Every structure is written in C-alpha cells, then in structure tokens.
Amino acid sequence: MNPPDWRVHLADGVTPESVDLAAGGTLVGAWTAAWAAAPERTVFSTLDGQRTTAAELAERTEDAAGRLASAGLAPGDRLLLSAQPSIDVIVAYVGALRYGLTIVPANTAATARELSDVVAEARPALAILDDPDRAVPGLRAVPPDLAGLSRAAVPGLDAARPTDTALVVYTSGTTGAPKGVPLSHANLLASAHAVRIAWRWTPDDRLALCLPLFHVHGLGVGLHGTLVTGASAVVMPRFAPEAVATAVQRAGATMFFGVPTMYHRLAASPHLADLRPLRLAVSGSAPLPADLHATVAEGSGQRVLERYGMTETIMLVSNPYDGERRPGTVGFPLPGVSVRLVPREGGVTEIEVAGPNVIDGYLDRPDANAEAFTVDGWFRTGDLGELDEDGYLRISGRAKELIITGGYNVYPREVEEVLRAHPDVADAAVVGAPSAEWGETVVAFVVPAGGTQDRARLEEWCAERLAPYKRPREWRWIESVPRNALGKVLRHELR
C-alpha cells in the first residue's frame, strides 16, 4: 500500500491546481507582501505588553539589515544566531534574511565548546548571542538588539533568490561528524505554505510561540508559518504551562505547537483545561504517546494533531485537520510531498521522501549525500515506517542510532566520546530509554577504569562539555560494552 496522495489535506472547494507552494518567490517576498496587505495588523506580541505591527516590523527589520551591513557583512555571509525567543531576536533574524545573509541557528543550551565546533564548520562572520559567556574566541558577538552596531544604507534589500540558502542547520550524523543542512528560501517557503494549507492557517490566527528558534519546529514551522500566512504570534522566551495558558486565555491565541514533553507538563499542571479555546494544537519532533493524546483530549477537548518532519525536509507528513487525528500515527503526506516505503533487511521498510521542501544535499559532504539520496533523487530519512489499514503512516523505529529527548536529537557517539575522555572511564555506550515525560532519556553504560564508580564526577564532567538535554539521566556500571566482530556497539543488548 502506498501512502495516500497529499490532496487529502485540502479543504472543500480548494483544488490541487490552486496550490502554489512557491507563492511569494522567497521567504522575504512572501513576508513583505503580507505586511503590505495589512500594515496595521499586530504581528508579534509578548505577555508583558510589547507589540509590533506589520509596518513597524518592516521598518525595524530594514534597520536591522542596515546595522548588520555596518558590521561589514555582505549578502551571502553567514550569521550565527543563538538566543532565546524574543521580538528582538525575530527582528534580527528577519532583517538578516532581508539583507541576503545565511543564518546558522545554534542551540541556546550549547556550551562555548559546542558553539566553537559549529563556528569551525560554518565560518560565520558574526554571532548574535544573548549570553556573552558563550562567545567563541575570534568571532565578534553582538546582543539580539544589535546594540553597538551603527546603521548603514542597504542597497538591494529583499533581493534573495528562491535557490539562495536561508539557513544552514548543523546536525550530527551517527559518526558524530557535523553535517550542514542548507535550506533554501524555496525549501522553507514550500513547507510553510504546505502547513498553512493543511492546517487552515489564516491571518486571523494567533500562535502561542514558545518553541526555541534554533530548531526547525519553532523556526521553520512556527515563525515562518506565521509570517507567510500574515497571521500573528505571542512570543514567549521559554515554555511554561502558566504562560501558555495566559497566551490562550488572555492574549487570544488560537494555535499552539509543542513537543510531547510540553504536553506531558501541561497535563500534569492545573492549566490543561485552559487549552480548550484553541482552534488547533499540534505536536511534533518526537512521538506523542497514545495515552497522553487521550489525557489531553479528555482534559482540554483538544485532539492533538501529530505531524512528522526532519531538519533536511522541514515538514513531511501530518494527520488531517478535518479527518480523524489518529493517535500513534503521523497521518498523510503534506501538500507537495511524496512518500514511499522501501523494503530493508529484516522485513522493515524505510521512509523515503521527495518534494520542493527537501534539500538538494548536505553542505560540502559528498559522502553523506551518497548515503542520504537514492539514484533517482529521493531522500532516505533513516526512519522506519508502516501504514495502517487506512493508509495512516506510523513511525515504527529508526534505522539510525538516534535518541530524541524533549524534541531534541542526541547522537550517542558525541556523548560517548565525552565520557571516554574521562580518566575514570575505560569504555562507554549510550542508548535511549522510554520516558513518559521526555519521549526518551539518555542512559549511559560505563565500564569503570580501575573500579572507580563516581557518578558525581562524571555528571560534573558532562555538565562542562554537553548541553543539558545531551547529558545522561541514568547511569549503569558494566564490565564490558557488547560489540560485534567489527567493534560496533550492540545497543539492542544494552536496551
């Protein structure tokens, strides 16, 4: 059985021929057109009373572009961005894209050491950081409000082409070597239009936006979708159940996008019922347990819509807006996306995809491209899938050794290398363990050197070298790490 066609997502009266995933030409082309259509509309607001209209956003982002130009940046240069969500961050981000820069988003939990790895790969010309302690030596850093930069004239604003790279997102492979994912304006625009169409997003919607803006969930779906649609968003620096409740109950949010960990915390809080006025609640970045889906529905009336995507593809598949939102599945291909299931050894099938949202290839990594793309141009997701009797896609596992915790990806090799560098560790292996709250948690299996089993020392070591979500939450002491004849860790034996 092949997954159903993407036309299942179209509203009554919408024809496939009317779907234009390239409308606007580029991200900034679509955004500026939306601002011109309704200049007095509030686009972004905060819970402490800040508001920015479309006309003000156009003016402020032009000013930001001028400030970046004054710093010596030129179109095509790369800009590292690592800061908590705020209107200032959004203004800097949008201004940079209007100027023709390429953004390199980085996790706000990343240490200076981790950021230095990204800088070595990406070679940005400037960094925007909200924490000066994470500055990388040799790279100039400025705060999100671009304080300290004067303004310069910017000729040729909004001149990006659809094929120009808007984002380079760095994601590690199973070998631990970082891979740059270059997402073009056309890739990101197609995905934003696809979810706009499938989820019935309109200018009257207001998104409760508390997802991080270094991740394609918050950036490529939440922020880009809001701007492409001409809608609005309540911007929050971080997730908290009471803040989401306030955004819905007092600020009039009609949509909320979250990861399963957020829904778990909402369900455990006194604020779950406050989600009832929402028009749409979406979950992604990790599987949403069926029992949590039922708990949220019972406590708030929200039938959470689950979807599936990747950094390399943005959004791929979604449960239907009008039809049944089936727990444990991710639904059907989004507009413009093609999905096929390809047999693999062991009787499983891997998900392969194609569409205007899919990257052309990794940055400067022909080896990774040869592995990731088929000879006929389809992208191998590395995820295993199956279809139920009605054609809903279910993610059944991962071909790659990846841990998803709280919606973030953790690559075991990176954590293992940090552990093995400690003098008390002779060998180590890392796996994911199921967690109702996090989806998975990181579990470390350690072979002690000289019999030393000091968890506190190892936790302190990891805290200095790894972002919090990458650090082991459970520790196991073992005599040896199980490996095959080629030395590969047999993780299934540890699980």
Q: What is the pLDDT of residue 111?
A: 86
Q: What is the pLDDT of residue 98?
A: 98
- Stated pTM of the model: 0.87
CATH of 403-494, one of 3.30.300.30, 2.40.50.220, 2.70.50.30, 3.10.560.10: 3.30.300.30
Report domain extents, the chain. Answer: 6-387, 403-494
Kindly indicate the confidence band of residue 418, based on its pLDDT and cuts at 50, 70 and 90: very high
| Average pLDDT rounded to a whole number, residues 473-484 | 91
93 pLDDT above the threshold of 70: yes
pLDDT digits (tens, 9 = 90+) for 27-44: 999 999 999 999 999 999
CA–centroid distance for 444 within its chain: 25
Q: What is the pLDDT of residue 290?
A: 87
Asked whether the CA dihedral 35, 41, 47, 49 is positive or negative, the reply is positive
Q: What is the pLDDT of residue 495?
A: 77
**Which residue(s) pair with 476 in the sheet?**
445
pLDDT digits (tens, 9 = 90+) for 259-300: 988 999 999 999 999 999 999 999 998 888 888 999 999 999
Give the angle 120-122-124 at the CA atoms, nearest 5°.
95
Indicate the fold that domain 6-387 takes in CATH: Rossmann fold (3.40.50)
Kindly indicate the confidence band of residue 346, based on its pLDDT and cuts at 50, 70 and 90: low
Kindly indicate the confidence band of residue 484, based on its pLDDT and cuts at 50, 70 and 90: low
pLDDT digits (tens, 9 = 90+) for 97-121: 999 999 999 999 888 888 998 999 9
More confident residue, 412 or 28: 28
